[in-house]
Chains A and B, each alone.
Chain A
Amino acid sequence: QKEVEQNSGPLSVPEGAIASLNCTYSDRGSQSFFWYRQYSGKSPELIMFIYSNGDKEDGRFTAQLNKASQYVSLLIRDSQPSDSATYLCAVNPGGYQKVTFGIGTKLQVIP
């Protein structure tokens, strides 16, 4: 069973702090990795994707990938109350195969 695991949270961080969201996956051959943000009552929206080992930065967001450890993370710097949402990790084994989502981590940024 190919799985994507996330801590469901909630993860509470004070405003201005760094939020660190983690995800592990079981399929060692997985090729691409995605982070989606889902606000309550809304549909998921893509915020980051990463294909290669290392870090990828986009504004206040940094995605980190370690394929050897089968681990992907999302760092949110200078967290804002508007970042409060559920963050979904998604893994694509490659090509046409289905994308598997984690359960999501609920992030709460406390003003």
Chain B
Amino acid sequence: KAGVTQTPRYLIKTRGQQVTLSCSPISGHRSVSWYQQTPGQGLQFLFEYFSETQRNKGNFPGRFSGRQFSNSRSEMNVSTLELGDSALYLCASSPGREINEQFFGPGTRLTVL
């Protein structure tokens, strides 16, 4: 079974631009969570989707948004990029309705200049 895939793997943007990241979960997994990872803050939860519904949201500004499609693929968008948005963005999928073990994708490394 293929693992979680994320595209693109690397991205360089400038301040003020917007970016869209994509995540394809493991086949059959319906829950997708997004995390931001930085050296100082560790893994910070962004949001979680199940069956196209956002069930949980972390403490991030409204510039961060996401969605999930009927095939469980998910996208997250960051508008008006700031330097502090430079981070590794990780997507994780979980098989069931409850969020238990999560399987992470390789991440998207975003650099904002």
Contact = CB atoms under 8 A, between A and B. Distances in A.
Interface of A: 32, 34, 36, 42-46, 49, 88, 90, 92, 94-104
B101 A46 contact: yes
B1 to A, nearest CB: 15
B64 interface: no
B99 A43 contact: no
Interface residues of B, number: 23
Contacts of B104: 36, 43-45
B95 interface: no
A103 B90 contact: no
B66 to A, nearest CB: 13
B56 A96 contact: yes
B48 interface: yes
Interface of B: 33, 35, 41-43, 45, 48, 50, 55-56, 58, 90, 97-107
Nearest to B57: A98
A101 B42 contact: yes
Given A44-B43, A88-B43, A92-B100, A98 B107 contact: no
Contact of B90 (A44, A49, A100): A44
A102 B42 contact: yes
Contacts, number: 57
Given A43-B107, A44-B43, A102-B42, A96 B97 contact: yes
Contact of B99 (A46, A92, A102): A92
Contacts of A32: 100
A88 B92 CA distance: 15
Contact of A99 (B41, B45, B103, B106): B45
A96 B103 CA distance: 16
A109 B103 CA distance: 26
A23 B56 CA distance: 24
B106 A43 contact: yes
A97 B33 CA distance: 11
B50 to A, nearest CB: 7
Given A44-B90, A44-B104, A45-B104, A99 B42 contact: no
